[in-house]
Amino acid sequence: MKDQLKKTRKVITRPPKKKAPHGRGPLAQGLMALVIFLLLVTAYSLITGSEKVEEISLSTLAQEITAGSIAGITVDGDELEITYKDGQKRLSKKEAGTALTTTLTNYAVPVEQLSLVDIEVKNEQGAFYWIASFAPIILPILFIVFFLWFLSRQVKGAGMQAFSFGQSKARLTAPNDKSRVTFKDVAGAREAKEELKEIVDFLKNPKKFLDIGARIPKGILLMGAPGTGKTLLARAVAGEAGVSFFSISGSEFVEMFVGVGASRVRDLFDLAKKAAPAIIFVDEIDAVGRVRGTGVGGGNDEREQTLNQILVEMDGFEPNEKVIVMAATNRPDVLDPALLRPGRFDRRVTLDLPDRKDREEILTIHARKKPFAEDVNLPLIAERTPGFSGADLYSLMNEGAILAARENRTKISQFDLIRSIEKVMLGPERRSHILSRKEKELTAYHEAGHAVVASVLPYADPVHKISIISRGRVMGFVMKLPLEDKKLQSKKEFLDDIAVALGGYVVEKLIYNDLTTGPSNDLQVSTALARDMVTKYGMSDKMGPIALESAGGKPLFGMGVGDKDYSERVSAEIDAEVSIIMNEAMKKVEKIIKDHRKALDAIATKLMEVETIEQKEFEQILVAHSIVPKKKKDIEHQP
């Protein structure tokens, strides 16, 4: 199986921008308000027009009173509401400005008959009376005015939103922000911090540099693998200097509209000049800073226009003495040369993966506010994590805390951190993935083959752990860790690594006289390594010191894609050389397996019993079968 897998990277996405619900734009909202208004008017008309009352004349009213059929009269101004003794109601109008009794007396109504009628006079006054009187007229007018105001506001908001595309979306971290980061929060990267301390000193004391005629670099490019702390280091510079910090991603400049990217660049620099001294940080600048002249279509032209504006703002006619631009990328090979010339990104700071001492410091920082048991040994965890980035180490400590909390414990133990290393590298355990006895035996022999070959070959890394418990997409694994951190790798080490990768393949072929799909990933890794030896590192005697392929590829098509820079004949020779390297490694492995068959059987049998073998127990098995385990002192005496 594959000995070392590509480690997972942790991803922080920003939450998506809130969008208006479907169908709720300004026009839709206006139409909805209009429909509601029409419904209210219709309902009001139905209510007011539902009750129809017959109107009679004053002469008829006088006759009815004389006949004794009237029970009461309600006087409301010049209107009369007449109530008959049978419950019916009529309406009438009296003479304006004349009392009702006088009017009826003039119509020859006897006084004794008039005294039998209950006459009520409404004398309404005050604000409520006038509101009630004018409400049927005022309310529709007010509703129309509100509707027009609401519609104009929605349209204006939509128009302003359209014009806001050209505004910068940078996030500002104020100098007095309590959550600011300093160099104390950044472990490792000693040389990078020393380089950036000059920037901090200039922002704090610019006069010292200006008096001697020195100019501070206008741009600092942070280069390094993902997760090495480029963004964190940029925030630490702003925190140490106590200046405004504008952060933005390279992809946030470019939108679907032409010219938006350049407009946002101008707006960003205008904001930084107003807040000067300030730092502008552009993360993943390769999104807009790629080599110009290789684009196809309008989208790439828009990216080039954005890049041109960045170049002008960094070193154009208008000097920006107190605005420093910092950028981060893990693909410096694809950046435009104009970005890297003096006057723009004058200084390039490289961040490597942390060594053992740096890893221990990073673990110590991430261990803050975490309760640990007495058996926790951070130096040992640092030793077991070569190749881990700062983000990987953060994930390791976080996973350890999660494992302890899942088991209802209040402290994190060493065992939690050990398990977290494997989880970050390979993925979570799959205990539910139950193997049959035959598959379990085959997996045990497969992993034992890797372990035996790694223990015998002098330039292979020593084995720290063997397991046949499924994790992620692998059914088992052998954890090999170097005795010390290495920056360079030799041809002998490459050849031994290829041989170790073929250990499981050879074991299946020799012992079971058959092959499964298990070694497929091992074959891919070892073949790719052999091809790199021939085409990139000049480690083939037949091909000679020629680099036939580069890691960057062609800018137009992307990494590793495009036309070959060599002929078909050379391509056939490369394939032949790769095949020779693989076959020689397989012969070497076959001899090792045959010579140490007893050790192979012992390791496989132990794996089937306990499923996991740690380094100490594994070395005891090796000593019992006359194989000397590798020690750190052996490195100095290798031929």
The count of residues in the chain is 639
Which class for 452: exposed (0-12), middle (13-18), buried (19 or more C-beta within 10 A)? buried
For the cut 90, the answer to whether the pLDDT of residue 448 exceeds it is yes
| pLDDT band, very low/low/confident/very high, at 90 (cuts 50, 70, 90) | low
CA separation, residue 491 to residues 422, 451, 530, 536 (Å): 28, 21, 10, 12
| pLDDT band, very low/low/confident/very high, at 455 (cuts 50, 70, 90) | very high
Q: Show contacts of 256-263: CB within 8 Å, 24+ apart.
A: 257/165, 258/298, 258/302, 258/305, 259/166, 259/302, 259/305, 260/165, 260/166, 260/302, 261/288, 261/302, 261/303, 261/305, 261/306, 261/309, 262/305, 262/306, 262/308, 262/309, 263/165, 263/166, 263/167
| pLDDT band, very low/low/confident/very high, at 94 (cuts 50, 70, 90) | low
- Rg value, the chain, Cα: 43
Q: Average pLDDT for residues 56-65, to the nearest whole number?
A: 75
| pLDDT band, very low/low/confident/very high, at 21 (cuts 50, 70, 90) | very low
Would you state the pLDDT for residue 352?
86
**What does pTM read for this prediction?**
0.66
Bridge partners (DSSP) of residue 560 are: none
Of the listed ranges 472-481, 554-563, 577-586, the one predicted with least confidence: 554-563
Determine how many CB atoms are found less than 10 A away from the CB of residue 230.
Answer: 26
What is the H or E stretch that residue 618 is in?
A: helix 615-624
Interacting residues of 60 by C-beta distance below 8 A, sequence separation 6+: 92
Of the listed ranges 196-200, 257-261, 364-368, 572-576, the one predicted with least confidence: 257-261
Q: Average pLDDT for residues 511-531, to the nearest whole number?
A: 91
* φ/ψ (deg, to 5) at 143: -65, -40
Contact 446, 476 (CB under 8 A): yes
Structure tokens at 533: 């030896």
CA separation, residue 556 to residues 293, 300, 303 (Å): 9, 11, 14
Would you state the pLDDT for residue 559?
45
| pLDDT band, very low/low/confident/very high, at 157 (cuts 50, 70, 90) | very low
- Determine how β-strand 244-249 pairs with β-strand 278-283: parallel
Q: Which amino acid is present at 564? A: K
For the cut 50, the answer to whether the pLDDT of residue 299 exceeds it is no
User: What's the CA gap between 278 and 241, in Å, rounded?
Assistant: 9
For the cut 60, the answer to whether the pLDDT of residue 20 exceeds it is no
User: What's the CA gap between 489 and 543, in Å, rounded?
Assistant: 20
Q: SS3 of 399, please? A: helix
Contact 115, 72 (CB under 8 A): no
Structure tokens at 43: 């309902």
553 Rama class: left (phi>0) / alpha (psi -120 to 50) / beta: left
Q: Average pLDDT for residues 112-133, to the nearest whole number?
A: 66
Q: Average pLDDT for residues 106-126, to the nearest whole number?
A: 69
Higher model confidence: residue 259 or residue 15? 259
Of the listed ranges 239-243, 293-297, 526-530, 631-635, the one predicted with least confidence: 631-635
Higher model confidence: residue 445 or residue 251? 445
For the cut 90, the answer to whether the pLDDT of residue 79 exceeds it is no
**Dihedral through CA 224, CA 227, CA 231, CA 232, nearest 10?**
-120
User: What's the CA gap between 407 and 420, in Å, rounded?
Assistant: 14
| pLDDT band, very low/low/confident/very high, at 604 (cuts 50, 70, 90) | very high
Higher model confidence: residue 3 or residue 288? 288
Structure tokens at 407: 């088991």
Q: What is the mean pLDDT of the chain?
A: 78
Q: SS3 of 195, please? A: helix
Higher model confidence: residue 261 or residue 336? 336
Higher model confidence: residue 505 or residue 70? 505
Q: Is-cis flag, bond preceding 277, omega within 30?
A: yes
Higher model confidence: residue 20 or residue 425? 425
Would you state the pLDDT for residue 318?
61
Would you state the pLDDT for residue 447?
93
Higher model confidence: residue 446 or residue 39? 446
**447 among known catalytic residues:** yes
Q: Average pLDDT for residues 342-367, to the nearest whole number?
A: 87
The vertex-484 CA angle with 480 and 488, nearest 5°, equals 95
Q: Average pLDDT for residues 577-593, to the nearest whole number?
A: 94
N-to-C CA span, the chain:
29
Q: Which of 284, 447, 508, 619 is catalytic?
A: 447
Residues above pLDDT 70, as percent of the chain: 75
| pLDDT band, very low/low/confident/very high, at 48 (cuts 50, 70, 90) | low
Of the listed ranges 65-69, 219-223, 430-434, 604-608, the one predicted with least confidence: 430-434
Higher model confidence: residue 178 or residue 510? 510
Q: Average pLDDT for residues 24-39, to the nearest whole number?
A: 63
User: What's the CA gap between 397 and 245, in Å, rounded?
Assistant: 29
Higher model confidence: residue 269 or residue 174? 269
- Determine how β-strand 79-84 pairs with β-strand 89-93: antiparallel
